[in-house]
Amino acid sequence: MGAVTSWDVVVPTTGRASLATLLSALERTVEAAPGPGRIVVVDDRKDATGPLPGTRGRTVEVLRGRAAGPAAARNTGWRTCLGDWVVFLDDDVVPTSDWAERLATDLGRAVGATPEKAELERAGEGVVGASQGRVVVSRPPGGRPTDWARNVAGLENARWATADMAYRRGVLEEVGGFDERFPRAYREDADLGLRVTGAGYRIIRGDRTVRHPVGAPDRWASLRRQAGNADDVLMWALHGRGWRVAAGAPTGRKLRHLALTAAGAAAVGGSLRRRTGIARAAGAVWLAGTAELAWARIAPGPRERDEVVTMAVTSVLLPAAATWHTVAGLVRLPGQLGWWRGFRRRPTSPASPPPVPDAVLFDRDGTLVEDVPYNGAPERVAPMPGAGDALERLRQAGVAIGVITNQSGVARGLVTIGQVHAVNRRIEELIGPVDAWVVCPHAPEEGCGCRKPRPGMVLRAAARLGADPARCAVVGDIGSDIEAAEAAGARSILVPTTQTFASEVARAREVAPDLRSAVDRLLGDRIATGG
């Protein structure tokens, strides 16, 4: 393992005002230390109108998320990154003035820049795949903390919290990133940590620090947090009964909540059926359990009037809310495990078809022409069925055409770049002109930013065509084509061949049987039928 060469920062946000404070602190801390390659902010607002707080006048890149939760937003961000490491920060933390400098030290230690790391690896303890920063919760001065403040303070000891978490980009690629079945900022970080450690990597604690404010929640915040019980069900299904121990998660009170909910239901049912004995006994159990829960939340706190009222009222409702979300998680579980392949949800059919793209970028070998490994001979070019007609229909519709192709044979000395260009010219002779050719001549081990599944060629082709990547589509025959498109924020369609893995087909958001069908999807029914 060599020294750290680069790192990028990814911040998912729903547009909270705290984002401006974070970006200002980041700007200050990177001035005194080697800075990141990029700071990527993923705008995950459902209604993304107007600029995000603090982004104007700063060298940050803003990507549009799908409003599908922080796991999906982080995936959108890190898949566009080119650095060796990706550092995830929450949008409500504040890095200290020496954060960037300490981060560089932490990552240097993680890649074996110290004798201690080398000794650990010789002892067989595995490669470090991630480094977790330290979170300090900024508690209000004086007095005992409220119930909410105690919950937030749990971040200080939380394992693998993405409030400040750095992962090797290669490790993220290996495990597939965050599981988007987790829609909330609750268990998606623990799930990723378990998969990374399960893959044989170590996660270590660093010395850098971010501060996390407590904030001022409304009265019902603790009830909304119970939605996370559905995520616990998914964690149990994915990682088994011991997931809490493995992830360092507290046990919680689920069984007590279930018992209290059952007692409350029995009391109501007994009253309705005029079974006084059952109603009284169950009511007594419910009352005693609710009182115990309320006192357990009130006793450590400030015991101020407003806090006591909030704890009393929410303690009455909290067990039922927790049970409801647990049951909801169990109901959704078969669908989550059966409908998903990999970690991407197939979108439901929209009410209206997506807009016609400004540009369509095709993979070359296996998509436009038959796949001849390391082909440098123009005479061996054979178009895929329907390729010429498909491209001509795009031209008639005014859609720009590009080709993005991995050609590692150049780096391996199997073909020359001149031969690649000669093959490309022959392709144009057979299926018509192409507006932009983008070639990656690098071998996989070179770690370039252009080779698919990285987004470099998609972004470069879009720039050459004067198109927004979000208004482009990529058509390819293997998973790396689709991943490159998603990393750049472009639409993607997979056209499988005999070389396509079944897992790649299952993970693709859109699949077409051939190029004509793919173009039908892209142009929409109106243009596809000549209307």
Question: In this structure, how many other beta carbons lie within 10 angstroms of the beta carbon of residue 205?
Answer: 11
Spot the catalytic one: 44, 179, 189, 365. 365
Report how far residue 399's alpha carbon sits from residue 162's, in angstroms, rounded to the nearest whole number.
41
Residue 426: both structure tokens together: 């022959």
The residue annotated as part of the active site, out of 106, 363, 435, 481, is 363
Whose tokens are 């082909």? That residue is 375
Separation CA 54–CA 144 (nearest Å): 33
- Cβ atoms of residues 131 and 106 within 8 Å: yes
* Amino acid symbol at 288: A
Q: Compute the distance between CA of residue 188 and CA of residue 183 in angstroms, rounded to an integer.
A: 8
In the three-class reduction of DSSP (H, G, I as helix; E, B as strand; rest coil), residue 13 is classed as strand
DSSP at 97: T
**Known catalytic membership, residue 47:** no
Spatial distance between the Cα atoms of 468 and 419, rounded to a whole number of angstroms: 31
Record the tokens describing residue 438, joined without a space. 């983008």
In whole angstroms, what is the distance from residue 116 CA to residue 132 CA? 18
Please confirm, yes or no, whether 363 is among the known catalytic residues.
yes
DSSP one-letter string for 389-446? HHHHHHHHTT-EEEEEEE-TTTTTTSS-HHHHHHHHHHHHHHH---SEEEEE---GGG
Give the distance, in angstroms, between the CA of residue 443 and the centroid of all CA atoms in the same chain: 27
For residue 415, give Cα distances in angstroms to 57, 373, 406, 423: 46, 10, 13, 11
Cis preceding-peptide flag for 441 (omega within 30 of 0)? no
Determine how many CB atoms are found less than 10 A away from the CB of residue 291: 12
Q: Name the CA radius of gyration of the chain, rounded.
A: 27
Q: Which residues pair with 456 in a beta bridge?
A: none
List the Cα angle 395/399/402 in 5-degree steps: 90
Angle between helices 254-272 and 276-298 (to 10 degrees): 150
Backbone φ, ψ for residue 406 (5° rounding) = -75, 125
3-state DSSP assignment of residue 68: coil
CA proximity to 480, closest of 504, 448, 512: 504
Q: Which of 55, 19, 465 is nearest to 457 (CA)?
A: 465
- Helical pair 305-339 and 276-298, crossing angle rounded to 10 deg: 110
Is the alpha carbon torsion for 465, 467, 469, 473 positive or negative?
Answer: negative
Torsion of the alpha carbons at 495, 496, 500 and 504, rounded to the nearest 10: 70
Kindly list the catalytic residues: 363, 365
